[in-house]
Structure 1
């Protein structure tokens, strides 16, 4: 099933956001036809960039320098 993007404009009208959506409405949908659809709002890409930058910063800050076990635990294991 095809996905088309629409933008809400003044007067609570949905306007095609892409040329593909406009072409679909002009060629496939007759005037007065009823369309059924499941709508979802697109995610904010700027927020996702900030979120993943924060994750990278946290990983760089947290990254262990001594390996998977602490030096004290390593000394304990080598003493056995």
Structure 2
């Protein structure tokens, strides 16, 4: 499981977030654990991207659709991948049924450097604005930026 931690002045790692805190609580005091340390690309900016996705996903109303009698539900991971694809950050893959499908580029820290992530963020913000947020009552992209920054506690 991957979680985030912050180094304290004493050198101890402090869990960052509920998931990390829960994992740290489950560890036995005095027992060794294996740890792989990686410095995140820009953790806050990565979280900002996901705050933008969540804001858009929460207001997106795709309408009712049935597939073979089953109501189709919206799904966050599919949504964020679709927004990334619409932003142009994808690759074509060949399917077994001879069709070509677009796969979203990975937004993982290891899969994308900071400069490319910045390009992706700006492109995704434009797509989210065009396809979702302007239809949901947001007045401008600047308003969207302000709301996302407020959600993240950015100044």
- C-alpha RMSD over aligned residues: 2.7
How far apart, CA to CA, are the structure 1 residues paired with 2:117 and 2:34? 35
Higher strand content, 1 or 2: 2
Normalising by the residue count of structure 2, what TM-score does the alignment of the two structures yield?
Answer: 0.29
Which residue in 2 is equivalent to 1:38?
Answer: 36
Pick 1 or 2: higher relative contact order, CA cutoff 8 A, min separation 6. 2
Distance change (3 Å), C-alpha of 1:14 and 1:52: same
Name the structure 2 match of 1:6: 5
Question: SS at 1:37's partner residue?
Answer: coil
List gaps (5 residues or longer) in structure 1: 57-80
Which consecutive segments of 4 or more residues in structure 1 shift more than 2 A? Answer: 44-53
Gaps of 5+ in 2: 47-113, 124-155
Structure number, greater radius of gyration: 1
Distance 2:38 2:27 in 1: 21
1:15-66 CA-to-partner distances (Å, cap 9, x unmatched) read 000111111121x21111111111100102396489529xx8xxxxxxxxxx
Q: Which residue of 2 aligns with 1:21?
A: 20
1:52 corresponds in structure 2 to: 119
Secondary structure of the residue aligned to 1:15 is strand
1:12 CA displacement: 1.1
TM-score by length of 1: 0.51
**How many residue pairs are counted as aligned between the two chains?**
52
